Chains A and B, each alone.
Chain A
Amino acid sequence: MIEAVGLTKRYGDKTAVYNLSFQVRPGSVTGFLGPNGSGKSTTMRMILGLDNPTAGHVTIGGYPYRKLPNAPRQVGALLDAKAVHGGRAARNHLLSLAQLSGIPARRVDEVLGVVGLQDVARRRSKGFSLGMGQRLGIAAALLGDPQVLLFDEPVNGLDPEGILWVRNLMKSLAAEGRTVFVSSHLMSEMALTADHLIVIGRGQLLADMSVKDFIAANSAGFARVRTPDTEPQLREKLAGALTEAGGHVLPEQDGALRVTGLPLPRISDIAHGTDVRLWELSPHQASLEEAYMRMTQGAVDYRSTTDQKEGLQQQLPPGAQPPMPVPGQGQPGWYAPPPPQQGGQPFAAPQGYGGAPETPNPYAQAAPQAPQPAPGHAPAQPAPPAAQSPVQPPVAPAAPPAPPTTAPTEPKDVR
């Protein structure tokens, strides 16, 4: 159990972490998300007692880290894969740590086997690839068989097999009743690994909730309903009935309807009741990535009005940092336009570069322009030939904002 209360860290006049309070509970994988420079690593270092907080405190199992009795047996951490002396062989590196913590030397060979480095144990870690370095760091974290584990970007540089291994490792560690706190930029990975999320932006807490709640709260799913193309009047009829029943209906470009606020069975019932045949009735769950983009996007707007001077990166909003670090990410319009056959979830972000500042809530208008033919409907029929605004096209595929009251219930029902 990690508990932070009012954690604040300033470097000179730069505030890296401000008034951060959260709890990381045992028995689950807690994801720690935030754009680059949002204070994740600083927070991790404060948890481990490496940096002293300017204000507030953070405890593990009720103790500050530096007061923990035999800390390495209670907490294991992977902070930085390259935090090793490159001239030392992998085994000696782990052996020195084991000796420091009073761990038997045979445990070293054990963890080397766990991470799959036994063949290079005698080689100097200077020659290790990034992935091998990560494995060595994970081995160091596992060395004390601790109850609390912290991983900062553990899957960086790992091959797909390694990513899968880390994912299962995290889950199994949590299932054993341990506290697992892991930061990552890979949203798809987090969606698969984490049960709970703590999201920070610019050093402040943005969200502390389960992954499911997070997606629901920040990016609602919706139901796509398609009536027979041959009978357009059925579409109007159904839209009217759905609106009457309390649903929120948005027409899509290819003639389908995007419905929020109504569970799938209810939509089906209404269609049956109004005697409208359906060609498609499908749930669309928003992704964690989309929800994260939306959330951190909001953080920029929120922060820039309240804390302009203390900003970390005025010129580059945190939401603009894509989860896949690629050269040139700072340039507007770097994102490829969404291919029509994709759901287009990741493309909520470019609004941050292009049009977001002058369109605070573009979703409601953008949604009708969504070029989203359902799989199987190859020729998209642009029923309402809405002109693609140059400002908003990438926004279009984003889900419409659900009213906060319906948001938590709606995706569950849809599914």
Chain B
Amino acid sequence: MSTPQPPMPQTAAPNWQAAPGPAHPTYTSPIPVVRTNLGHALASEWTKIRSVRSTMWTLGVFVLLVVGIGLAAAALVAANTDEGNVSDETALGFGFFGLLLGSICIITLGVLTTASEYGTGMIRTTMTACPSRGRVLTAKAIVFFAVAFVVTLASAVLVALADVAMVDAREPSGGEWLKGTVGVSVYIALLGLLSLVVGSIIRHSAGAITIMIGVLLAPLVIAMFMFSESLRGLQQALIEYSIPNQLSVFYTQSLTESGPTGWDPLWIMLGVTAAVFAGALALLEKRDV
């Protein structure tokens, strides 16, 4: 009988069923069954993010860059500024360079949070343990955002306090303090969140990191080579809405006069991230893991 055979009906196979041991109809575990929710997924993702070295490395380098460059820039200015030469700008702006460079670390960590699960195959284990795929991505997003925000805020506040103390410049107002610390931290964390979501869509660490660094730098680089007069408008828009310029808006030292002002960059980044997040959720539900 080497031809395919239809599955046996249950009654047709009593001999093998009776063979092994006592015939328990089903097995019931003594461990209490709880109804899982997002809280469980959050605890799990927190364990995951704190138990890999890439988190420590990327965040370590990030803090080093933000604090190091922020302090160095302020120290240089403080040493070379003549007495009495009071600038219109506040000292908060010296944190900008460190954050711009450090954002690459946040992008990397964001991408790795999702894409590394695909790279290692861990995602199959995760999705088996939690078939609600949206819950997993949401938990990842929340945990990562919290981590990125807290670390960025701590570094930014440290740099801001030090810079304001070191450089003899205009005292920042309360609104400027808020934008230069909390505002910029939310922005950086959102940028990382966007990277996380892109990592979930691309499912490949190197590819997603490349895309995100492209998003970070390409608009400025492309705009630099737009010499033609007819492209002037596009060049202007590319520069104004490039991430580095949006970041600088938080320090009220935009490269241009027009373009986003005040808290605009935050809303832009929030909108983009939300849209991509929705796309990632839809893809996650639809695609095979």
By a beta-carbon cutoff of 8 Å, the part of chain A in contact with chain B is 21-23, 25-29, 45, 48-52, 65-66, 68-73, 75, 77, 79-80, 82-89, 92-93, 95-97, 99-104, 107, 140, 144-147, 171, 174-178, 195-196, 204-212, 217-218, 294-295, 297-299, 302, 404, 407
Contact = CB atoms under 8 A, between A and B. Distances in A.
B29 A145 contact: yes
Question: Chain A: interface secondary structure?
Answer: mixed
Nearest to B136: A100
B11 to A, nearest CB: 12
Contact of A107 (B6, B7, B26, B31): B31
Contact of B125 (A79, A102, A295): A79
B27 A204 contact: no
B129 A206 contact: no
Given A70-B34, A299-B2, A87 B129 contact: no
Contact of B8 (A79, A84, A144, A208): A208
B121 A80 contact: yes
Contact of A89 (B7, B51, B128): B51
Given A87-B52, A97-B44, A144-B31, 15 more contacts: A49-B131, A66-B132, A69-B35, A79-B125, A92-B48, A92-B51, A93-B51, A96-B44, A97-B129, A147-B26, A147-B29, A175-B20, A205-B6, A206-B4, A404-B1
Given A83-B121, A83-B122, A209-B13, A28 B34 contact: no
| 6 tightest Cβ-Cβ pairs between the two chains A and B | A177-B24, A298-B2, A175-B21, A83-B121, A145-B29, A92-B51
Contacts of B136: 100
Given A176-B24, A210-B15, A84 B122 contact: yes
21 contacts: A25-B17, A45-B124, A50-B127, A72-B129, A73-B33, A83-B124, A84-B121, A85-B116, A85-B120, A96-B47, A97-B125, A100-B44, A101-B130, A102-B40, A140-B125, A175-B20, A177-B25, A205-B7, A209-B13, A295-B2, A302-B3
Given A50-B289, A206-B5, A294-B2, A100 B130 contact: yes
A96 to B, nearest CB: 4
B26 A26 contact: yes
Contacts of B27: 26, 147, 176-178
Contacts of B17: 25, 27-28
Interface of B: 1-8, 10, 13, 15-17, 19-31, 33-36, 40-41, 43-45, 47-48, 51-54, 116-117, 120-122, 124-132, 136, 286, 288-289
A85 to B, nearest CB: 5
A67 B53 CA distance: 35
Nearest to B54: A87
A70 B36 contact: yes
A241 to B, nearest CB: 30
B16 A28 contact: yes
Contacts, number: 200
Nearest to B19: A195
B125 A84 contact: yes
Contacts of A66: 131-132
Given A88-B51, A218-B2, A28 B19 contact: yes
B289 A27 contact: no
Nearest to A91: B51
B129 A101 contact: yes
A72 B4 contact: no
A24 B289 CA distance: 24
B29 to A, nearest CB: 4
A206 B2 CA distance: 8
A287 to B, nearest CB: 16
Contacts of A84: 120-122, 125
B191 to A, nearest CB: 24
A414 to B, nearest CB: 17
B126 A297 contact: no
Nearest to B31: A145
Contacts of A50: 124, 127-128, 288-289
Nearest to B23: A27
A205 B16 CA distance: 20
Contacts of B53: 87
Contacts of B20: 27-29, 171, 174-175, 195
A83 B120 contact: yes
A299 B120 CA distance: 35
B13 A79 contact: no
B16 to A, nearest CB: 4
